[in-house]
């Protein structure tokens, strides 16, 4: 049977994971000077993205 709470949990995990990965990609491109993003902005974005991905894996039990 389809459980709504499980679907919401998976949706939350995937949303947080997607935001974290997107921040990591943007920050990595900024650090590599592939896009116009200052290092002062890119470094904290990288850390925040990494923390979000780790939170999903460690506290929410993985993206799915």
Q: Is residue 63 part of a domain?
A: no
Count: domains in the chain: 1
Contact 55, 16 (CB under 8 A): yes
Q: pLDDT, tens digit, for every residue of 11-35?
A: 999 999 999 999 999 999 999 999 9
Residue 41 has pLDDT above 90, yes or no: yes
Identify the domain containing residue 20 by its residue range.
4-58
pTM confidence score: 0.85
How high is the pLDDT of residue 20? 95
Query: Is 11 among the domain residues?
Result: yes
Note whether residue 64 is domain-resident.
no
Give the pLDDT score at 1.
59
Q: Evaluate whether 20 touches 60 at the Cβ level (below 8 Å).
A: no
Is residue 17 a part of any domain in this protein? yes
Separation CA 36–CA 13 (nearest Å): 30
């Amino acid at each position: 049977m389809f459980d709504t709470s499980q679907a919401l949990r998976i949706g939350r995990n995937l949303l947080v994971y997607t935001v974290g990965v997107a921040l990591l990609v943007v920050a990595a491109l900024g650090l590599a000077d592939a896009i116009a993003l200052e290092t002062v902005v890119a470094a904290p974005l990288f850390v925040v993205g990494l923390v979000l991905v780790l939170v999903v894996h460690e506290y929410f039990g993985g993206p799915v």
